[in-house]
Chain A
């Protein structure tokens, strides 16, 4: 028994050490920086919670942080409703095993394998006002499309759409896996009782895929509040145009590392913001997870 314990410890040590050295230690470093003011690039004085107060309650950070947080919330709600809602319907359609359903399954999942950077560049081209595929297609039916990524009113929506296009397949696959675990007898019994597709989806399938909903909710939540790659590639560090696509990830990056020609590096405030984002996501995810797990049992 003791021998086995030693073996396990020996096998775990390299991974645990790597994690400790390259993940935990830098994180603790960032945590410590959050309590220091910076003179240029060197930590200067211990300032207690001042950086946190600055980030949350003082200009110029406050306005940017809360505008960005609001955008993160919009992103989360829209992705839950549209991306995951559609994924739920697609998963149900795939479950029915209509002709060519395997081909469709692959098609739906295909964008997921692309990196966010590729997807971002691809759609930036598609949405281009002069050479883009989208406006060219709209022109065929006589519609003069707007500069999707250049209008403050359409930019964030366009980014959410692209994110949906990218990750729809992932959510659909998780739902499908959940649906496939529902015993055939349950579905058949409901059908014999005269349940339509709508009723099945709402009353039978929905409660029984509760574990899948939990996973998707948590993943979408973390993804929405850590959103960075897509807005960075498609809208740049400042959340162009005019901050319409600014999200917490971009604010953090700009604050901590500066941007090429405009912002200055400020590790103190950047670290404070990173710590707050980490706490917010961790606490909310933990609470939501607890609630959703209970819901799974209740349903």
Chain B
């Protein structure tokens, strides 16, 4: 089939209208950068100023799109032979979908020598499994754990829980003071996937991940079912009517001090600080199953910067991506956006971010994202839906495990022999 047939181009053009209208023709020497982070436009403007100073004549024009529609806009624009010269790309399965269509330029140390600055785990998140090539420069690692409102705990004379036993006692003590321990509800499915990962990972440990890879274990494994069963206990610590409490409400309950903990990612830190500059914020690891057991946080890579394979300004685009893989960029990126850059040699000055980075030394992968987002149905869509039902009381932990395993067995080979 001819990819550039008029019907196809027309359909894609219609779908990508928003994107294409926004990208006015660029002047010679201009390259465009596409991002889903509208809120980071100012920071990127600042970052690209340094680039232009070092590379006179190359100006970077930022096009920011709504995150929810970003994938659709980018993929349709790329399919129509358009799109930014440098594009923010998703990681893992989200990257594969675009990369295997040939829309991103493969990167290696010959065209981007600075890739040597980036650890293999981060590069793996931006690698296409089929050809083993890297397609984007990773920009941040994210850590999932518990964001703590220290002031609320101090006022109630309670310390944040480090074990499951302490979760119950801290929850009861706070409830007596009219404060909810955990702000999260379950109305937003993608947060349920994160929520489940945060609390179950310390109970599962790295052995479980290895067993998933070999097919020795599936999500029906007693270890996983036991972890989900324990997760049900946490319902007592959630806001009243938690099945109807969505992501935004959970954030507000936490920011306003009506709840003491928000289970979420390090990507919340900058946003929380902006919304409530007086917030006395801490980031801790989720509770361990027993005292003294490792408190694993969940760590993953967020996305990367890719070069449009059809960019007419490829040489300049590569220059920009090379700059985005330098420690100088990483340092400024981390300080402006409060994200942890994976680039070697980046110094984190913010004490809270330094703590998050240190917690990352005892980490588990974000299993459903890193292993199960490559084909349909994805582990994420299965897990978020099933966990939401379980928390609402209409499915048992065993049913969740079986449902996710059966769904994934359609394409995940290690599960097919079970």
Query: Which residues of A approach B to under 8 Å, CB–CB?
Result: 21-22, 25-26, 28-30, 32, 36, 39-43, 46, 59-60, 127-131, 135, 146-152, 236, 238, 240-243, 254, 257-266
Contact residues, B142-184 vs A (CB, 8 A): none
CA distance A151 to B185 in the complex (A): 12
CA distance A258 to B378 in the complex (A): 10
Contact status B245-A242, CB under 8 Å: no
Min distance, Cβ B73 to any Cβ of chain A, angstroms: 10
Is B97 interfacial (CB 8 A cutoff)? yes
**Stretch from B222-230, B285-293, B387-395 forming part of the interface with A:** B387-395
Contact status B381-A32, CB under 8 Å: no
10 contacts between A and B (CB under 8 A): A25-B7, A28-B7, A30-B11, A128-B249, A146-B244, A147-B187, A150-B243, A151-B392, A236-B189, A265-B75
Q: Which residue of A lies closest to B9 (CB)?
A: A29
- Given A41-B103, A238-B381, decide whether A260 and B190 contact each other with a Cβ distance below 8 A: yes
Contact status A264-B98, CB under 8 Å: no
CA distance A212 to B312 in the complex (A): 58
- Given A28-B7, A149-B244, decide whether A241 and B389 contact each other with a Cβ distance below 8 A: yes
CA distance A131 to B94 in the complex (A): 36
Q: Which residue of B lies closest to A246 (CB)?
A: B385
- Given A36-B1, A128-B249, decide whether A147 and B193 contact each other with a Cβ distance below 8 A: no
- Given A152-B392, A265-B97, decide whether A240 and B188 contact each other with a Cβ distance below 8 A: yes
CA distance A130 to B101 in the complex (A): 46
Min distance, Cβ A68 to any Cβ of chain B, angstroms: 13
B28 contact set on A, CB distance < 8 A: none
CA distance A21 to B14 in the complex (A): 10
A148 contact set on B, CB distance < 8 A: 244
- Given A147-B242, A261-B380, A266-B376, decide whether A238 and B394 contact each other with a Cβ distance below 8 A: no
Contact status A150-B10, CB under 8 Å: no
Is B71 interfacial (CB 8 A cutoff)? yes
CA distance A244 to B75 in the complex (A): 30
Contact residues, B237-261 vs A (CB, 8 A): 239-245, 249, 253
Interface 1/0 per residue, B369-398 and A, CB below 8 Å: 000010111101100111011001011000
Interface 1/0 per residue, B90-108 and A, CB below 8 Å: 0001101111111100000
Min distance, Cβ B6 to any Cβ of chain A, angstroms: 8
B378 contact set on A, CB distance < 8 A: 262-264
B356 contact set on A, CB distance < 8 A: none
Is B3 interfacial (CB 8 A cutoff)? yes
Contact status A41-B189, CB under 8 Å: no
A146 contact set on B, CB distance < 8 A: 241, 244
Contact status A150-B187, CB under 8 Å: yes
Task: Select one of A60, A128, A152 contacting B389, CB under 8 A.
Answer: A152
Is B68 interfacial (CB 8 A cutoff)? yes
Min distance, Cβ B410 to any Cβ of chain A, angstroms: 6
Contact residues, B397-418 vs A (CB, 8 A): 407, 410
Task: Select one of A22, A26, A59, A240 contacting B189, CB under 8 A.
Answer: A240
Contact status B392-A242, CB under 8 Å: yes
Contact status A147-B245, CB under 8 Å: yes
Query: Which residues of B approach A to under 8 Å, CB–CB?
Result: 1, 3, 7-8, 10-11, 14, 67-68, 71-72, 75, 78-79, 93-94, 96-103, 185-190, 193, 239-245, 249, 253, 373, 375-378, 380-381, 384-386, 388-389, 392, 394-395, 407, 410
Min distance, Cβ B374 to any Cβ of chain A, angstroms: 8
B394 contact set on A, CB distance < 8 A: 152, 242
Contact status A242-B385, CB under 8 Å: yes
CA distance A40 to B79 in the complex (A): 11
CA distance A42 to B312 in the complex (A): 21
Contact status B7-A29, CB under 8 Å: yes
Task: Select one of A21, A28, A236, A262 contacting B373, CB under 8 A.
Answer: A262
Task: Select one of B103, B244, B376, B388 contacting A147, CB under 8 A.
Answer: B244
Q: Which residue of A lies closest to B66 (CB)?
A: A260
Q: Looking at A21, A28, A41, which has the most chain B CB atoms within 10 Å of its CB? A: A41
CA distance A281 to B407 in the complex (A): 30
Min distance, Cβ A220 to any Cβ of chain B, angstroms: 28
Contact status A240-B187, CB under 8 Å: yes
Contact status B407-A60, CB under 8 Å: yes
Q: Which residue of B lies closest to A254 (CB)?
A: B381
A46 contact set on B, CB distance < 8 A: 1
Contact status B10-A26, CB under 8 Å: yes
Task: Select one of A36, A130, A240, A265 contacting B72, CB under 8 A.
Answer: A265
Contact status A25-B241, CB under 8 Å: no
- Given A36-B1, A146-B241, A258-B71, decide whether A242 and B98 contact each other with a Cβ distance below 8 A: no
Contact status A130-B245, CB under 8 Å: yes
A127 contact set on B, CB distance < 8 A: 244
Contact status B3-A260, CB under 8 Å: no
Supply 5 further A-B pairs (C-beta < 8 A) apart from A29-B8, A262-B189.
Answer: A129-B240, A130-B241, A149-B244, A242-B394, A265-B75
Contact status B98-A263, CB under 8 Å: no
CA distance A143 to B98 in the complex (A): 52
B188 contact set on A, CB distance < 8 A: 236, 240
A128 contact set on B, CB distance < 8 A: 244, 249
CA distance A41 to B11 in the complex (A): 13
A42 contact set on B, CB distance < 8 A: 3, 79, 101-102
